[in-house]
Amino acid sequence: MATKQPSALKDTQNEPDHRKIAIDRVGVKSLRYPIQVRDRASGALQNTVGTFTLTVDLPHHFKGTHMSRFIEVLNAHGPIFQVSNIDAVLARLLDRLDSEEAHIVLEFPFFLEKSAPVSGAKGLIDYGVRFEAGAKRKGDFDFIITVTVPVTTLCPCSKAISKYGAHNQRGQVSFAVRFLKHIWIEDLIRLVEKCASSELYSVLKRPDEKYVTERAFENPVFVEDLVRAVASRAQGHPEITWFRVEAENFESIHNHNAYAMVEGRGGAAP
């Protein structure tokens, strides 16, 4: 007896939409996937987990996009994604979803081993990294790297008016850049850390604590000082074309945070 062939399934996404409203970005969000990032010091690949947002534009005459295709494109690059594949994934999204623009947002924790300043005790510390990449069918490409760096800041005003010390707190700097050539995540992190009252460590012995607190006391900075210092270095960087730096102090004697932001051109800008 002949096997009955299944009838064709209805493709609702390809049906026309008569509202004539194009959608700028549509796709999948909060997709977790294993990725690999290359370390500058060793050249080895660091394994971590990325959270992806994959989107394309949708012309006004289509009712919907094909969500499964985003996952298929990502899976096509293997069980572990390497960040060097971003341009290839964008190109495949444009082709697979027949779109004019494609975008990827990738966020992941990046780990560095740091030695304490006096004892040399080693420990891992994590930094937030965000890649934003976009491509158009006509050839335009945009790429922004953002690093989120925890730091220590000590208040210059508190130091100036207090008899016994000064209040300090942990802060967070978000540093986003566009660039001409490859730029290392570690270099961006280090640029920010040099501008703070002190950088952070995961392991500190008592001699290290003494060193860190005294260093912060000798190098007080407001959030204004912090963003200006990072901006000054970005303005002179030979590979950075654009930057945005934001600093937020989690105040230790206030029930609010202090915030500052600077956006500008880097040393490589025309």
Residue 238 pLDDT > 70: yes
Q: Which of 90, 113, 139 is the last residue of a domain?
A: 139
Query: In this structure, are 268 and 146 located in the same domain?
Result: yes
134 is a domain residue: yes
Q: What is the pLDDT of residue 1?
A: 54
Residue 192 has pLDDT above 90, yes or no: yes
Tell me: do 115 and 79 sit in the same domain: yes
pLDDT surpassing 60 at residue 59: yes
Residue range 5-27: average pLDDT?
A: 78
Per-residue pLDDT band for 35 (boundaries 50, 70, 90) equals very high
- Residue whose token pair is 């959030």: 223
Residue 107 sits in the same domain as residue 145: no
Q: Does residue 16 lie within any of the structural domains? A: no
Number of folded domains in the chain? Answer: 2
Q: What are 124's strand-pairing partners?
A: 113
How do residues 91-144 score in pLDDT, each as one tens digit? 999 999 999 999 999 999 999 999 999 999 999 999 999 999 999 998 899 999
Q: Are the C-beta atoms of residues 204 and 116 closer than 8 Å to each other?
A: yes
Best CA proximity match to 84, nearest among 138, 133, 122, 124: 133
Q: Confirm if 168 and 258 have CB atoms less than 8 A apart.
A: no
Together in a domain, 131 and 225:
no
Residues 6+ apart with CB under 8 A from 226: 151, 153, 171, 173, 195, 196, 247, 260
Q: Do 50 and 158 fall into the same domain?
A: no
Q: Given pLDDT bands bounded at 50, 70 and 90, which one contains residue 5?
A: low
- Per-residue confidence (pLDDT) for residue 2, from 0 to 100: 56
> Does residue 9 lie in a domain region?
no
The domain boundary residue, chosen from 105, 139, 173: 139
Q: Are residues 239 and 192 part of one domain? A: yes
The reported pTM is 0.91
The answer to whether 51 touches 30, Cβ cutoff 8 Å, is yes
pLDDT at 62 over 90: no
Give per-residue burial for 111-126: e unless 16+ CB within 10 Å, then b: ebebebbeeebeeebe
Question: Which own/partner contact pairs does 30-35 have at CB distance under 8 Å and 24+ positions apart?
Answer: 31/70, 31/71, 31/74, 33/74, 33/81, 34/79, 34/80, 34/81, 35/80, 35/81, 35/82, 35/83, 35/106, 35/108
Pair 62, 149 in one domain = no
Q: Are residues 31 and 119 in the same domain?
A: yes
Residue 240 belongs to domain with CATH number:
3.10.270.10
Q: Are residues 221 and 172 in the same domain?
A: yes
CA distance 150 to 170: 7
The encoded tokens of residue 72 equal: 């298929």
Domain extent, residue 107, equals 22-139
What mean pLDDT is reported for the chain?
93
Cα-to-chain-centroid distance, residue 169: 23
The per-residue pLDDT for 131 is 97
Same domain, 188 and 86: no
Domain boundary among 104, 139, 174: 139
With a cut of 80, say whether residue 72 has pLDDT above it: yes
Neighbouring residues of 216: CB distance < 8 A, sequence distance ≥ 6: 152, 153, 154, 168, 197, 198
Instruction: Decide if pLDDT at 63 tops 90.
Output: no
Environment class of 137 (CB within 10 Å of its CB; exposed 0-12, middle 13-18, buried 19+): middle
